[in-house]
């Protein structure tokens, strides 16, 4: 959200902030070392999918880390945050020990701070733009850890503030999908007085937060608290409902829905189309993670099976690949390996995940690319043929392009292979709604900053608009869409109502 510089400056001049600024000298702040996130021991945590790796900061650790923050006149960190969280304001509240206030600052702009504190790629967002990094070439203030601390504190205190709701205006809006983008949209709209219904195809609410990101990174309980808050605020959740199949957009219009937000995500897994890829034992990261995270297949008493293997190879270098390979380890793989075609530097995964994966004994084979799978007589994969790669000139993504090295092929043993090479937009909605402009890549076209599609009453955001992106970007889109849909609906319906 854009926020005026003036507002930020004035906030900074508040008495309590000035007092804190004076209390500790800048020089002393700079001598504090960046806090280390306490972690579960690698050999313990790999025994279960459900032991959270990062344990969270203590109040004392959080306050000390908050003291490092300079409360900059020009807080560049905020420019790095896609939703412009007022970072110094929340951090200074932690410094002074008012953790609930810190949490409420987060909630001014972010619907799910406990989630973002855990999964944002901070090192390329807020933290990359921190004064410490830009000017001192030192480790950034641990903004993500602090964000998680404040949000967790609020949740655990049981004193979650339910925001004030505007008087109900009776206008029905429908939300398609229940990922982070939809949740943040729903939260804003219900606050504005709309009658909000969220339709989800799966049997669980949360989108990728539930079926994709594993519990060792993001416990379901954290997500559920937020969902229950929305429920208490009046948002209706309808699971097992596929818009476009169970009912069409037109059916919903007839039932009185005046506008729609499409947050249907980028659910379609990509494969590499190389020989042998349809052998048994080769599956998409979506299938693998869904079986474990949504269906609980790691537990003995779940009816859903999952493949366990001695040697598991995961192809890819993003968060999805890291989540898959670490899941494999937790399912008992003796050897779990990443095969990635570029070098570690180009890996799109969060640095922390790569670091944690290494602690857990994950092997990395970078600059290697699978070119063929070899199956046994039962059609089950037994080996992957890979080829060595070298890096050439940067490509469109700005990363150096991998080039195969002829004659460098060799094989790796694998009884399970997880393909995590990206996803495409979910085609269900683009295919089922007439008149909706869709790009060459299958993403829904929207007017930037408004998130309005070619159909005026249909807004969209998150991965269905961006392709695979991040939780915080998806949430930011939800907020923008809510603000603009509010204007659209008020002009269209409420002014009319007044006239009549």
Ligand X SMILES: Cc1cc2nc3c(=O)[nH]c(=O)nc-3n(C[C@H](O)[C@H](O)[C@H](O)COP(=O)(O)OP(=O)(O)OC[C@H]3O[C@@H](n4cnc5c(N)ncnc54)[C@H](O)[C@@H]3O)c2cc1C
List of residues 6+ apart from 141 with CB closer than 8 A: 34, 65, 68, 69, 77, 91, 127, 130, 132
Which of other proteins, ligand SF4, ligand X, none does residue 110 bind to, with CB < 5 to 8 Å depending on kind?
A: ligand SF4
DSSP 85-148: --HHHHHHHHHTT-HHHHHHHHHHH-S-HHHHHHHS-GGGTGGGGSHHHHTT-SPPP-HHHHHH
* Whole-number Cα distances in Å, 287 to 292, 324, 340, 422, 464: 9, 10, 20, 13, 19
Question: Which residue lies nearer to ligand SF4 by CB, 82 or 422?
Answer: 82
Sites of contact with ligand SF4 (CB under 6 A):
69-72, 75-77, 81, 83, 85, 87-88, 110, 116-117, 120, 122, 125-126, 130-132, 141, 143-144, 147, 472
* Contact in structure between 245 and 475 (CB atoms under 8 Å): no
Three-state DSSP at 284 gives: strand
* Contact in structure between 57 and 149 (CB atoms under 8 Å): yes
Question: Which residue lies nearer to ligand SF4 by CB, 27 or 434?
Answer: 27
Which of ligand SF4, ligand X, other proteins, none does residue 177 bind to, with CB < 5 to 8 Å depending on kind?
A: ligand X
Residues 182-201 that bind other proteins (CB under 8 A): 201
452 binds ligand X (CB under 6 A): no
Question: Which residue lies nearer to ligand SF4 by CB, 132 or 261?
Answer: 132
In angstroms, give the least distance from the CB of 206 to ligand SF4: 18
Tell me how far apart the alpha carbons of residues 428 and 309 are, in angstroms, rounded to a whole number. 33
* Contact in structure between 309 and 414 (CB atoms under 8 Å): yes
Which of other proteins, ligand X, ligand SF4, none does residue 179 bind to, with CB < 5 to 8 Å depending on kind?
A: ligand X
Point out which span in 1-9, 31-39, 98-106, 464-472 binds ligand X (CB under 6 A): 464-472
Tell me how far apart the alpha carbons of residues 249 and 311 are, in angstroms, rounded to a whole number. 46
Angle at the Cα of 201 from the Cα atoms of 200 and 203, rounded to 5 degrees: 85
Please tell me the count of residues contacting ligand X according to CB under 6 A.
Answer: 40
Residues 457-496 that bind other proteins (CB under 8 A): none
Tell me how far apart the alpha carbons of residues 262 and 453 are, in angstroms, rounded to a whole number. 10
Residues 380-399 that bind other proteins (CB under 8 A): 380
In angstroms, give the least distance from the CB of 313 to ligand SF4: 31
The two most distant CA atoms of the chain are separated, in Å, by 78
Residue from 245, 408, 411, 496 binding other proteins (CB under 8 A): 245
Residue from 229, 284, 320, 452 binding other proteins (CB under 8 A): 284
296 binds other proteins (CB under 8 A): yes
Element (H, E) at 416: strand 416-419
Residues 339-398 that bind ligand X (CB under 6 A): 350
In angstroms, give the least distance from the CB of 240 to other proteins: 4
278 binds other proteins (CB under 8 A): yes
255 binds other proteins (CB under 8 A): no
* Residue 146 burial by Cβ neighbours in a 10 Å radius (0-12, 13-18, 19+): buried
CA count, 13 A, side-chain hemisphere, 431: 7
474 binds ligand X (CB under 6 A): yes
Please tell me the count of residues contacting other proteins according to CB under 8 A.
Answer: 43
Element (H, E) at 423: strand 423-424
Question: Which residue lies nearer to ligand SF4 by CB, 132 or 216?
Answer: 132
* Contact in structure between 131 and 139 (CB atoms under 8 Å): no
177 binds ligand X (CB under 6 A): yes
Tell me how far apart the alpha carbons of residues 29 and 90 are, in angstroms, rounded to a whole number. 17
Three-state DSSP at 250 gives: helix
281 binds other proteins (CB under 8 A): yes
Which of ligand X, other proteins, ligand SF4, none does residue 199 bind to, with CB < 5 to 8 Å depending on kind?
A: ligand X
Question: Which residue lies nearer to ligand SF4 by CB, 71 or 204?
Answer: 71
Point out which span in 19-27, 149-157, 279-287, 350-358 binds other proteins (CB under 8 A): 279-287
Which of ligand X, ligand SF4, other proteins, none does residue 223 bind to, with CB < 5 to 8 Å depending on kind?
A: none
* Contact in structure between 335 and 311 (CB atoms under 8 Å): yes
- 466 token code pair: 């961006």
CA count, 13 A, side-chain hemisphere, 332: 8
* Contact in structure between 388 and 368 (CB atoms under 8 Å): yes
Build a one-symbol-per-residue string for 409-428: x at contacts with ligand X by CB under 6 A, - elsewhere: -----------------x-x
In angstroms, give the least distance from the CB of 393 to ligand X: 28
The residues of the shown chain that bind other proteins, judged by CB under 8 A, are 201-203, 239-242, 245-247, 267-269, 271, 273, 277-281, 283-284, 286-287, 290-291, 295-296, 299-307, 378-380, 426-428
The residues of the shown chain that bind ligand X, judged by CB under 6 A, are 119-121, 176-182, 199-202, 207-208, 212-213, 242-244, 263-265, 267, 289, 319-320, 323, 350, 426, 428-429, 462-463, 469-472, 474
């Amino acid at each position: 959200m854009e926020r005026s510089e003036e507002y930020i400056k004035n906030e900074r001049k508040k008495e309590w902030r000035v007092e804190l600024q004076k209390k500790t000298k800048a020089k002393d702040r700079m001598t504090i070392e960046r806090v280390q996130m306490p972690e579960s021991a690698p050999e313990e945590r790999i025994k279960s999918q459900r032991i959270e790796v990062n344990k969270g900061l203590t109040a004392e650790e959080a306050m000390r880390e908050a003291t490092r923050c300079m409360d900059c006149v020009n807080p560049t960190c905020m420019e790095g945050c896609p939703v412009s969280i007022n970072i110094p304001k929340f951090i200074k509240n932690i410094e002074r020990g008012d953790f609930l206030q810190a949490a409420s600052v987060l909630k001014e702009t972010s619907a799910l701070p406990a989630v973002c504190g855990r999964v944002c790629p901070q090192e390329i967002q807020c933290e990359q733009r921190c004064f410490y990094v830009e000017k001192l070439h030192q480790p950034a203030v641990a903004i993500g850890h602090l964000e998680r601390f404040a949000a967790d504190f609020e949740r655990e205190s049981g004193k979650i503030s339910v925001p004030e709701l505007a008087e109900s205006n009776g206008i029905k809006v429908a939300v398609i999908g229940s990922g982070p983008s939809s949740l943040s949209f729903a939260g804003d709209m219900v606050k504005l007085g709309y009658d909000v219904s969220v339709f989800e195809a799966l049997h669980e609410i949360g989108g990728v937060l539930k079926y994709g990101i594993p519990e060792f990174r993001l416990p379901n309980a954290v997500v559920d608290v937020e969902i229950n808050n929305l429920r208490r605020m009046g948002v209706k959740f309808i699971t097992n409902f596929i818009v476009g199949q169970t009912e069409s957009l037109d059916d919903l219009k007839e039932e009185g829905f005046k506008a729609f937000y499409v947050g249907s995500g980028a659910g379609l897994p990509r494969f590499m189309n190389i020989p042998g890829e349809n052998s048994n034992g080769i599956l998409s990261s979506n299938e693998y993670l869904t079986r474990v995270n949504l269906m609980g297949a790691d537990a003995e008493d779940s009816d859903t099976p999952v493949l366990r293997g001695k040697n598991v190879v995961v192809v890819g270098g993003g968060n999805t690949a890291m989540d898959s390979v670490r899941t494999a380890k937790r399912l008992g793989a003796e050897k779990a390996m990443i095969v990635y075609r570029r070098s570690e530097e180009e890996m799109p995964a969060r640095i922390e995940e790569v670091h944690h994966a290494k602690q857990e004994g994950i092997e990395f084979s970078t600059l290697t690319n699978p070119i063929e799978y070899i199956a046994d007589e039962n059609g089950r994969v037994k080996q992957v043929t890979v080829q060595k790669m070298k890096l050439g000139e940067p490509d469109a993504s700005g990363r150096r392009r991998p080039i195969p090295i002829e004659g460098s092929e060799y094989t790796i043993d694998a009884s399970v292979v997880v393909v995590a090479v990206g996803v495409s937009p979910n085609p269900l909605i683009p295919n089922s709604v007439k008149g909706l402009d869709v790009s060459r890549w299958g993403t829904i076209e929207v007017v930037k900053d408004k998130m309005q599609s070619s159909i005026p009453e249909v807004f969209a955001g998150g991965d269905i608009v961006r392709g695979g992106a991040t939780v915080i970007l998806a949430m930011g889109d939800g907020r923008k869409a809510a603000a603009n849909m509010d204007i659209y609906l008020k002009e269209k319906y409420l002014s009319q109502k007044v006239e009549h």
